[in-house]
C-alpha cells in the first residue's frame, strides 16, 4: 500500500484523475486548471451538493471504497433528476486520514468513474485535504434543464395523483442486514457472512441507482410532474416536504406502497413492520412526484410507476390510510442528518 504522504497533493490528484476524459459538450475545461469551464448555452443551470461523513453516512466496515464512490456520485445525480434535469458534471472533494492509502482512493475513484460512465457525467475538478476524523466526501453536481421543464417541490396542486417509482424500504433493510452481520461477525476474521438470496437488499443499500429512466419515460409520454423529490430521507418525510412547500394536504394509501418480496421477508426476520421501513427508511433514491388527475390513464400504463395517493386541500391535513381504512396522521420519521 502506498502512503498518501509519499506523493503530495498535486501528484495524488494527477494520479487519480489522469484517465478522466471529458465526454459532455457542456464541459469546456475540466481538471488541471484553477476552475472548470462549462457552457450550458440557453439552458438553466442546476447545482446540488452532498456531504458524506464516515460514521454518519457510511460505515467502511462493510462498504467497499468502490461502492462508496459509485453511491456518492449517484445520490447527487438523483437530486438533478428530481428537478427533471440532466446531470453533466461533478466536482469531488475528499478529507482523508492517514489510515487510507493511495490504492484506497484509487478504488473510490474507480467507483466514481464507473457511475459517471453509466450516467454520462464528467468529473471536472475537486480538492483533497488531510482529515483527523476519518473519510469525508463532498460532491457538487452541475446539470441543466430547459426553464419550462424544471420541476420544483412547491407546485403540487389539489387533486394531483401521488406517484412513486420502483419499490421502497429495500435500502433500509439492506442496512439492517449489514449492521446485524457486522455485530455477529465482529472480531471473527475467519468467518464470512452468508448473503445468498439477499443480493437485492445489499445492492439497494451499497450501490443504489438514480432513476434517469423514469425522467426519460415521463418525457417520452408527454408528462411533466407538478412537483417532484427523490426519496432519500424516507417516503413520509419527503412527501411531507412536498406538502409543506406546496401548502397542500395528502392522502397516502398503505396498501399501495410498493414493497419488494425480499424487503418483506427481511422485515419479518427482524420482526419489523415492513410499511414502517418503507415509510421511514430512506436511501431508496426513487422518484416521488405528483401529476394532474387527468394523467391517470397514462401513468397507470407506465411500467415501474405506482399511484400511491392523492393531494388534498391543506386544511384536510396529511394522512396515511391503513389497510383497514383507518386514517392516521402522516409523520416525518425518516432520516435526519442533523443530530443533537
Give the pLDDT of residue 33: 66
Same domain, residue pair 88 and 223? no
Q: Which of 57, 54, 66, 62 is nearest to 113 (CA)?
A: 66
Task: Specify burial of residue 110 (Cβ count, 10 A radius: 0-12, 13-18, 19+).
Answer: middle
Are residues 70 and 118 located together in one domain of the fold? yes
Say yes or no: 54 and 126 in one domain.
yes
Domain boundary among 120, 149, 178: 149
Cβ atoms 236, 279 nearer than 8 A: yes
Looking at 126, 149, 172, which one is the last position of a domain? 149
Residues 6+ apart with CB under 8 A from 121: 24, 73, 77, 87, 88, 89, 90, 115, 141
Residue 174 and residue 104 in one domain: no
Same-domain status, 323 and 202: yes
Within a domain: 244: yes
Q: Does 97 share its domain with 246?
A: no
The pLDDT of residue 190: 60
Domain count, the chain: 2
Query: Do 303 and 229 lie in a common domain?
Result: yes
pLDDT at residue 8, as a whole number: 61
| 336 falls within a domain | no
**For residue 116, is it within any domain?**
yes
**277 lies in some domain:** yes
Torsions phi, psi for 161 (to 5 deg):
-80, 140
Residues 112 and 165 in one domain: no
Together in a domain, 55 and 9: yes
* Residue at 36 is within a domain: yes
The answer to whether the beta carbons of residues 116 and 139 sit under 8 Å apart is no
Chain position carrying cell 468502490: 66
Local structure of residue 280 (DSSP, 8 states): H
Same domain, 68 and 175: no
The reply to whether 303 and 272 lie within a common domain is yes
Q: Tell whether 199 is covered by a domain.
A: yes
Q: Is residue 196 part of a domain?
A: yes
Identify the CATH number of the domain in which residue 205 sits.
3.90.650.10
What's the pLDDT score for residue 11? 65
Cell of 228: 417532484
Query: Does 339 fall in a domain?
Result: no
Q: Which domain holds residue 198?
A: 161-329
Q: List the pLDDT tens digit at each of the 340 positions of the chain.
A: 777 677 766 666 677 677 778 888 888 877 766 677 888 888 999 999 999 999 999 999 999 999 999 999 999 999 999 999 999 999 999 999 999 999 999 999 999 999 999 999 999 998 888 888 899 999 999 999 999 999 999 999 999 999 999 999 999 999 999 999 888 766 566 656 778 889 999 999 999 999 999 999 999 999 999 999 999 999 999 999 999 999 999 999 999 999 999 999 999 999 999 999 999 999 999 999 999 999 999 999 999 999 999 999 999 999 999 999 999 999 987 545 444 3
C-alpha to C-alpha distance for 151 and 223, rounded to whole angstroms: 11
Q: How much is the pLDDT for 14?
A: 72
If we measure between CA atoms, which residue out of 196, 202, 194, 197 comes closest to residue 176?
A: 202
**Domain check: are 209 and 127 in the same one?**
no
* Composition of the chain by helix, strand, coil, percent to 5: 35, 25, 40
Q: 147 and 93 in contact (C-beta within 8 Å)?
A: no
CA distance 295 to 291: 7
- CATH code at position 96: 3.30.1330.10
Q: Which of 149, 180, 213 is the last residue of a domain?
A: 149
Q: How many Å apart are CA 251 and CA 308, to the nearest integer?
A: 9
The whole-angstrom separation of Cα 110 and Cα 123 is 12
Instruction: Reduce the secondary structure of 111-176 to three states and give it as a string.
Output: HHHHHHHHHCCEEEEEEEEECCCCCEEEEEEEEEECHHHCCCCCCCCCCCEEEEECCCCHHHHHHH
C-alpha to C-alpha distance for 338 and 232, rounded to whole angstroms: 14
Close Cβ partners of 180 (under 8 Å, ≥ 6 residues apart):
270
Q: In the chain, where does DSSP find H-type helix?
A: 9-17, 65-81, 102-119, 170-184, 199-206, 212-220, 235-246, 261-269, 274-280, 296-300
SS3 288: strand
Amino acid at each position: 500500500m502506498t502512503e498518501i504522504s509519499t506523493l503530495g497533493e498535486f501528484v495524488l490528484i494527477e494520479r487519480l484523475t489522469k484517465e478522466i476524459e471529458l465526454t459532455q459538450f457542456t464541459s469546456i475545461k475540466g481538471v488541471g486548471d484553477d476552475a472548470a469551464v462549462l457552457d450550458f448555452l440557453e439552458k438553466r443551470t442546476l447545482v446540488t451538493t452532498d456531504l458524506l461523513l464516515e460514521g454518519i453516512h457510511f460505515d467502511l466496515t462493510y462498504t467497499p471504497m468502490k461502492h462508496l464512490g459509485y453511491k456518492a456520485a449517484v445520490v447527487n445525480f438523483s437530486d438533478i433528476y428530481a428537478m427533471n434535469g440532466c446531470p453533466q458534471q461533478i466536482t469531488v472533494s475528499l478529507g482523508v486520514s492517514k489510515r487510507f492509502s493511495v490504492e484506497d482512493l484509487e478504488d473510490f475513484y474507480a467507483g466514481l468513474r464507473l457511475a459517471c460512465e453509466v450516467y454520462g457525467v464528467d468529473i471536472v475538478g475537486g480538492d483533497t485535504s488531510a482529515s483527523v476524523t476519518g473519510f469525508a466526501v463532498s460532491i457538487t453536481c452541475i446539470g441543466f434543464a430547459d426553464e419550462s421543464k424544471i420541476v420544483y417541490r412547491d407546485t403540487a396542486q389539489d387533486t394531483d395523483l401521488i406517484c412513486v417509482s420502483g419499490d421502497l424500504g429495500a435500502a433500509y433493510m439492506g442496512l439492517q442486514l449489514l449492521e446485524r452481520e457486522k455485530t455477529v461477525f465482529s472480531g471473527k476474521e475467519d468467518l464470512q457472512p452468508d448473503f445468498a438470496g439477499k443480493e437485492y437488499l445489499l445492492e439497494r443499500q451499497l450501490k443504489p441507482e438514480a432513476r434517469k429512466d423514469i425522467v426519460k419515460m415521463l418525457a417520452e409520454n408527454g408528462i411533466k410532474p407538478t412537483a417532484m423529490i427523490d426519496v432519500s430521507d424516507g417516503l413520509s418525510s419527503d412527501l411531507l416536504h412536498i406538502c409543506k412547500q406546496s401548502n397542500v394536504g395528502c392522502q397516502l394509501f398503505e396498501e399501495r406502497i410498493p414493497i419488494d418480496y425480499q424487503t418483506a421477508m427481511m422485515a419479518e426476520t427482524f420482526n419489523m413492520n415492513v410499511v414502517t421501513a418503507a415509510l421511514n427508511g430512506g436511501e431508496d433514491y426513487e422518484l416521488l412526484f405528483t401529476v394532474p388527475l387527468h394523467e391517470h390513464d397514462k401513468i397507470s400504463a407506465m411500467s415501474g410507476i405506482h399511484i400511491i395517493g392523492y393531494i388534498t386541500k391543506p386544511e384536510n391535513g396529511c394522512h396515511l390510510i391503513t389497510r383497514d381504512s383507518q386514517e392516521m396522521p402522516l409523520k416525518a420519521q425518516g432520516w435526519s442528518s442533523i443530530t443533537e
